[in-house]
Amino acid sequence: MARVWVATVLNFFLPGAGYLVLGRALGVLYLLGAIGLTYVETSLQALDPTLWAVMFGAVFVMNTGFAIDAFRLGKASIEGAK
């Protein structure tokens, strides 16, 4: 169960990394997307703080969804292994 929590926290702070912990190679694509969005988010901060706030909110919601998904996938894999 510790691996599930590690994947959950990783997916919140760095989407895609938690999927890699769970053995899902598709996580690499999510990770690359998260890096790209972080670049866009920091660029928007310099241009217009209002746009940055919207982007921050959207990324927070997305990261929460990734964390919940990693938790569900990890829990399902544990229950399926029993």
pLDDT tens sequence across 13-67: 988 899 999 999 888 898 898 888 888 878 877 888 788 788 888 889 999 999 9
Q: Which bin fits 16, alpha (ψ -120 to 50), beta or left (φ > 0)?
A: left
- Is 0.85 surpassed by the pTM of this model? no
Supply angle C-alpha 52, 68, 29, rounded to 5: 65
The pLDDT assigned to 22 comes to 93
Q: Are 18 and 70 in contact (CB under 8 A)?
A: yes
